[in-house]
Amino acid sequence: MQSLSNKKVLLGITGGIAAYKSAELVRLLIKAGAEVRVVMTPSAQKFVQPLTYQALSGHRVYLDLFDAEAESAMDHIELARWCDLLLVAPASADFLGKMNAGYADNLLLTLCLASPQPVAVAPAMNQQMFANPATQENIKQLAAKQVLLWGPASGEQACGDVGLGRMLEAQQLFDNVLLHFSPGKLAGVKLLLTAGPTREAIDPVRYISNRSSGKMGYALAAAAIEQGASVTLVSGPVALPAPAGADLIAVESAQQMYDAVMQRAPASDVFIACAAVSDYRVDQAANQKIKKSSDSLSLKLVLNADILATVSALAPRPFCVGFAAETQDVEKYALGKLQQKKLDMIAANQVGDGNSGFETDFNQLEVFWRDGRHSIGHASKAEVANQLIELIAERYTCARSRQAQQT
């Protein structure tokens, strides 16, 4: 079993029937070697007695912002700094709303505001309350503030409803804590990634683009963050929320993507080119809307710079991973691109059949490098991304140790 020794977890409990699950969570954390302190809001105490958590954690439970005795032992600012992780489980709708608004009218809210450490929340509420736009907005804004969202799960609820809103089980929350503290295969790696399409202006209202939704690239960003990488995502226009924890640079044209990437590539360890960059742009985009004046219209297109090939030609350069989107002879074209662009790795996908590649939620890849290959079978883009990031981490580590041996 993975150890949590030396890890300090501050567990916040708010008012909800799921509070009973947190007792099991305390037990699991203590068993794995973590030091646990528990803070309860006034409503939490209506569901479970503080004594339960005191007995399990081996420490007094913190209840009140104005408790002179507790403050003299460890004041609330010190408590906020003491922990390595502040986990609120269960986190009620009311608590999430107040937390998002920056309220500090009880001890736990004060600690969330005062803690310099990562804060995770495990939402638990009725499915209708969870679906309410106010809750959704609070959750979205908390995620944008780097609060980690663990759950909720879907299923039968204490009130008899069925839907999304159940708190994750104690074991799942415990696994998330373990994952949070495990360094990850790309810990410390600076990863630069392109995603989505580019738009090449024809005139102020029209453009040339393609069917890329950004789903594959955004899934890769999330998977790399989960493996500990610090991710900069240069993205063309897509309708997706920024992956939590990524530094998102929004661009529109291939030239803007080129500029954003070239500015950051020299300081990056890994570069993944997942964007579907327009190969051509309109030579002279019109300043005014082009009027319909004849039966045909010719546009002169000129070649865009190849971002991936340019990054790959840098010296020194990041570990370069390209994509190949092909409708036919996938392997032949992918191997050609691997060689011509001097890449460390290329992930080839069949596109145009509706089952994988552009737009769909699924993909499958044939991945090639100089002396090897690996197939990633048909699965959700999230799953394909996890597998590809694992493979990249493996190959990158090999390349780095080979480099170290040569110097």
Question: What residues act catalytically?
Answer: 159
| Residue 57 engages ligand PMT in binding (rule: CB under 6 A) | no
| Residue 270 engages ligand PMT in binding (rule: CB under 6 A) | no
Q: Give the separation between CA 260 and CA 17, rounded to whole angstroms.
A: 49
Contact 155, 165 (CB under 8 A): no
Give whichever of 94 and 390 is closer to ligand PMT, judged by the CB atom: 390
Q: Which of 39, 91, 186, 273 touches ligand PMT (CB under 6 A)?
A: 273
Which residues fall within 8 angstroms of residue 385, CB to CB, at 6 or more apart?
216, 219, 220, 222, 223
Of 98-106, 139-147, 166-174, 355-363: span binding ligand PMT (CB under 6 A)? 355-363
Contact 26, 56 (CB under 8 A): yes
Give whichever of 44 and 338 is closer to ligand PMT, judged by the CB atom: 338
Cis peptide before 90 (omega within 30 of 0): yes
Minimal distance in Å, beta carbon 202 to ligand PMT?
Answer: 18
Which residues fall within 8 angstroms of residue 87, CB to CB, at 6 or more apart?
9, 10, 11, 12, 119, 120, 121, 122, 150, 173, 177
Window 329-348: contact mask with ligand PMT (x via CB under 6 A): --------x-----------
Q: Give the separation between CA 404 and CA 401, rounded to whole angstroms.
A: 5
| Residue 349 engages ligand PMT in binding (rule: CB under 6 A) | yes
Of 51-59, 81-89, 148-156, 269-277: span binding ligand PMT (CB under 6 A)? 269-277
| Residue 312 engages ligand PMT in binding (rule: CB under 6 A) | no
Minimal distance in Å, beta carbon 306 to ligand PMT?
Answer: 4
* Residue that has been written with the tokens 């105490």 in this structure: 45
Contact 84, 117 (CB under 8 A): yes
Q: Give the separation between CA 268 and CA 67, rounded to whole angstroms.
A: 49
Q: Which of 249, 254, 270, 338 touches ligand PMT (CB under 6 A)?
A: 254
Q: DSSP code of 342?
A: T
Q: Kindly state the tokens that stand for 369.
A: 């490098």
Contact 196, 277 (CB under 8 A): no
| Residue 307 engages ligand PMT in binding (rule: CB under 6 A) | yes
Residues touching ligand PMT, count (CB under 6 A):
28
| Residue 322 engages ligand PMT in binding (rule: CB under 6 A) | yes
Of 86-94, 115-123, 184-192, 276-284: span binding ligand PMT (CB under 6 A)? 276-284
Of 15-23, 86-94, 183-191, 323-331: span binding ligand PMT (CB under 6 A)? 323-331
| Residue 324 engages ligand PMT in binding (rule: CB under 6 A) | yes
- The DSSP annotation for 110-178 comes to HHHHH--S-EEEEE---HHHHHSHHHHHHHHHHHHTT-EE---EEEE-TTS-EEEEEPPPHHHHHHHHH
| Residue 243 engages ligand PMT in binding (rule: CB under 6 A) | no
Q: Which of 137, 279, 329, 353 touches ligand PMT (CB under 6 A)?
A: 279
Of 29-37, 76-84, 319-327, 390-398: span binding ligand PMT (CB under 6 A)? 319-327
| Residue 53 engages ligand PMT in binding (rule: CB under 6 A) | no
| Residue 15 engages ligand PMT in binding (rule: CB under 6 A) | no
Window 186-205: contact mask with ligand PMT (x via CB under 6 A): --------x-----------
Q: DSSP code of 68?
A: H
The kind and range of the H/E element at 53 are helix 50-57
Q: Which of 247, 331, 353, 359 touches ligand PMT (CB under 6 A)?
A: 359
| Residue 135 engages ligand PMT in binding (rule: CB under 6 A) | no
Minimal distance in Å, beta carbon 233 to ligand PMT?
Answer: 12
Which residues face 273 on adjacent strands? 194, 322
Which residues face 43 on adjacent strands? none
Window 206-235: contact mask with ligand PMT (x via CB under 6 A): ------xxxxxx------------------
- The DSSP annotation for 244-290 comes to TT-EEEE--SHHHHHHHHHHHGGG-SEEEE-SB--SEEESS--SSPP
Contact 395, 344 (CB under 8 A): yes
Helix %, strand %, coil % for the chain, to 5? 35, 25, 40
Minimal distance in Å, beta carbon 240 to ligand PMT?
Answer: 9
Q: Which of 275, 367, 385, 391 touches ligand PMT (CB under 6 A)?
A: 275
Q: Which residues contact ligand PMT (rule: CB under 6 A)?
A: 194, 212-217, 254, 273-277, 279, 304, 306-308, 322-325, 337, 349, 351, 357-359
